Amino acid sequence: MADGAGESVSSEIGQGITIAKTGEPGAFGGELLTINFGPHHPSTHGVLRLIVDLDGEQVRRLKPVIGYLHTGIEKQAEALRWQQVVVVTDRHDYLSPPINNLAYALAVERLLGVDVPPRAEALRVIMSELTRLSSHLVWLGTSGIELGASTMLMYCFRERDTILDMNEEISGFRMHTSYIRPGGVMADATPRFLEMLDRFIAKMPSNIDEYEDLLTMNPIFRSRTIGIGRLPAEDAKVLGATGPMLRGSGVAWDLRRSMPYSGYENYDFEVATSDLCDCYGRYLVRIKEMREAVKILRQALDRLPDGPVNIDDRKVLPPPREELETSMEAVIHHFKLFTEGYTVPPGDVYVAVESGRGENGCYVVSDGTHKPRRVKFRAASFVNLQPLERMAMNHMVADMVAIIGTADAVLGDVDR
Amino acid sequence: MGVEALAESLGQNVLTTTLAKLIGWGRGNSVWPLQFGLACCAIEMIHTATASVDIARFGSEAMRASPRQADMMIVSGRVSQKMAPILRTIYDQMPEPKWVISMGACASTGGVFNNYALLQGVDKIVPVDVYIPGCPPRPEDLLNALMILQERIKAQGITPRQ
């Protein structure tokens, strides 16, 4: 690239140019350089691409470029029947499938005007909290690697494997469980699942201690995160941050507490916050959230009510297998359900749940047919990318990696 | 050392083989994957590298961030139309010989997403050696694919793509 003679060449970035001079003078006597970062880069958490203007090694401007994982999930949902959409909700924020299911299921249930039985609600809470744990474990493992603590990945994925085994036990599938569905859950918890969960809850606090031993007082980790990526509370609110990003700035806003759903108001837990407003604060919030998730799991398991796990409505959920052999009506319902699905009364509804990343909302419009008219996801990762420039401003490039890490964006969630 | 003693020691210390077999043995047992995560399957790919499954047993734990140092690309997840040219560029940057594993239903055929946004199968832009079904496949499936690929590499000889 020849000297830009004062003109900006940032617009040409994207045609294979990775470094370009902008012609703008920097504070250190040089000029700003435009650097392309990603989409294939080991520390961008997937396929995030950033165009960064650097003054020396300091970040002066940062522009996320998204869409590299655009899957057309929302459009795809319009072509599927109501019960089939559950499968694609699994795959947008692929680190928290049951929580995505829950947002969609709650939205559809509100349109249908039904409430699920207490046992289903408790199982939904159990799956949500297990998912929150597994999502934070991926975050902790990969962020650890980016800051040089490569042992973290091994420890975190050891526990994540246990959670995936539990997913498999309860739903038959490791990651994309499709377990939570409109009208209830896929199947009742097996006794083996409850045993596994009990063992897991007993073991997990000591595992979290292990992670903290490695990181919390680690001088390298502290110097890489304390004071890095500051996001004051007002900025976090203005930029729409939710989840650990907002709570790491000292704002106690957690949808499980502020707008309870699925019976979260009955559980005793603390909303984790930190006043540090930096990467270290967000780390502390997530660690605390993992401890609180274990607490919620213990309460949910101890108080797990008996009873059915699905609503008793043959128009929405298929009849039990035994009924098919004796009841003609059951066969008709079964046939209708699997050939044309069910219809949902016209209307629109927005339901938000708290995922590992923040407010995971689902806006559903029904026109009264057997397919949704529109399904829109309010992706927490997408909105949490907004404060990225604010946080990375005037930091070094290496610190930018720590900042992207604590933003914990899942690109499937950003691009959908 | 007498001739007989020499012949005896050679019999104990020398193996005879062909160069093609030797190179295939070396390549097959040290396949370095490109660290290239796309979507959900990338998480299962990380699981394959961690302790419970441990891809290091098969000599492929050295995930390289630079395509220049990698000889296998695991396409781990859905490839969007916007990502396709980048994926092809990265593939072109890898030195020969190179292999591709298409991990999961989305990479292989588009999976459940038959729509405008996704490439309906990564084999439209890069040659694929092994396909893995599943959405996402289990870590063991990826290991199995790696073993199939190793057998293929060992059988391919000195110049695989001719």
Set of chain B residues whose Cβ sits within 8 Å of the Cβ of A71: 39, 78, 80, 113, 115, 117-118
Residue A15 belongs to domain spanning: 10-65
> CATH no. for residue A138?
1.10.645.10
Assess if residue A323 is contained within a domain: no
* pLDDT for residue A12 is more than 60: no
- Tell me how far apart the alpha carbons of residues A116 and A98 are, in angstroms, rounded to a whole number: 16
Q: Which of residues 65-104 of B touch A (CB under 8 A)?
A: 65, 77-78, 80-83, 86, 90
pLDDT value of residue B61: 84
Q: Which two tokens stand for residue B60?
A: 């492929």
A295 lies in the same domain as A371:
yes
pLDDT digits 0-9 by tens, A244-263:
999 989 898 889 888 898 88
Q: Are residues A56 and A205 in the same domain?
A: no
Q: How far is CA A38 from the centre of its chain?
A: 21
Residue A229's pLDDT is: 87
The reported pLDDT for the residue numbered A18 is 62
Residue of B112, B114, B138, B142 to mutate, testing the A interface (most A Cβ within 10 Å of its Cβ): B112
Q: Are residues A79 and A58 in the same domain?
A: no
Closest chain A CA to residue B63: A42
Instruction: Say whether both A227 and A94 belong to one domain.
Output: yes
Using an 8 Å CB-CB cutoff, list chain B residues near A67: 80, 82
Residues A196 and A162 in one domain: yes
Q: 3-class DSSP state for residue A294?
A: helix
* Cross-chain Cβ contact A412/B39 below 8 Å: yes
Residue A320 domain-assigned (yes or no)? no
Q: Give the rounded percent of residues in chain A with a pLDDT score beyond 70.
A: 95
Q: In 3D, which of B100, B120, B132 has the Cα closest to residue A71?
A: B120
Average pLDDT, chain B: 87
CA B99 distance to own-chain centroid: 5
Whether A165 and A235 share a structural domain: yes
Task: Look at residue B50 and tell me whether its pLDDT is greater than 50.
Answer: yes
Of the candidates A131, A161, A183, A113, which has an alpha carbon nearest to the alpha carbon of residue A337? A183
- Most confident range (mean pLDDT) of A53-57, A291-295, B37-41 is A291-295
Asked if residue A366 and residue A232 are part of one domain, the reply reads yes
Q: What is the residue-averaged pLDDT of chain A?
A: 87
Inspect the interface and report whether the beta carbons of A157 and B51 lie closer than 8 Å.
yes
A176 within domain boundaries: yes
| Residues A40 and A121 reside in one and the same domain | no
For the stretch A322-336, what's the b/e string if a residue is b when 16 or more beta carbons lie within 10 angstroms of its beta carbon? Answer: eeeeeeeebeebbee
> Is B39 at the interface with chain A, CB within 8 A?
yes
Among A72, A142, A154, the residue with its CB nearest the CB of B51 is A154
In which residue are the tokens 């502290």 written? A222
Residue A19's pLDDT is 67
Give the pLDDT confidence of A130-161 residue by residue, as tens digits. Answer: 999 999 999 999 888 888 888 888 899 999 99
**pLDDT value at B132 more than 90:** yes
Q: Could you tell me if A189 and A306 lie in one domain?
A: yes
Instruction: Look at residue A10 and tell me whether its pLDDT is greater than 50.
Output: no
- DSSP-assigned letters across all residues of B91-113: HHHSPSS-EEEEEHHHHHH-TT-
| H-type alpha helices, A55-117 | 73-78, 85-90, 97-112
CATH of B33-156, one of 3.40.50.2300, 3.40.50.12280, 3.40.50.300, 1.20.810.10: 3.40.50.12280
* Residue (of A88, A119, A35, A154) closest to A377 by Cα position: A88
Domains in chain A: how many in total?
Answer: 2
Confidence of residue A124 (pLDDT cuts 50, 70, 90): very high
Q: Which of A68, A164, A175 sits opposite B82 (nearest CB)?
A: A68
Q: Which residues of A89-126 are buried (b: 16+ CB within 10 A; e: fewer)?
A: bbbbbbbbbbbbbbbbbbbbbbbbeeebbbbbbbbbbb
Tell me the mean pLDDT in the region A57-72.
88
pLDDT at A389: 87
Place of tokens 């961690």: B50
> DSSP string of A40-63?
S-TTSTTT-EEEEEEETTEEEEEE
Instruction: Let me know if residue A134 belongs to a domain.
Output: yes
* Distances B39 to A22, A70, A300, B29 between C-alpha atoms, Å: 34, 11, 31, 27
Q: What is the pLDDT of residue A2?
A: 39
Which chain A positions have a beta carbon within 8 Å of B81's beta carbon? 70
Distance from CA of A329 to the nearest CA of B (A): 32
A98 in a structural domain: yes
pTM (2 decimals)?
Answer: 0.88
Count of residues for chain A? Answer: 416
User: Mean pLDDT across the stretch B73-79?
Assistant: 90
A191 pLDDT tier (thresholds 50, 70, 90): very high
Minimal-distance CA residue of chain A relative to B84: A68
How far is A171 from chain B, CA to nearest CA, in Å? 14
Measured in whole angstroms, the distance separating CA A168 from the mean position of its chain's CA atoms is: 20
Cis peptide before B97 (omega within 30 of 0): yes
pLDDT (0 to 100) of residue A103:
93
Contacts of A172 in chain B (CB under 8 A): none
How confident is the model at residue A4, as a pLDDT? 40
In a domain, A337, yes or no: no
pLDDT score for A14 = 46
Question: Mean pLDDT, to the nearest integer, of A44-71?
Answer: 86
Among residues A345, A204, A201, A222, the alpha carbon closest in space to that of A279 is found at A222
pLDDT at A366: 92
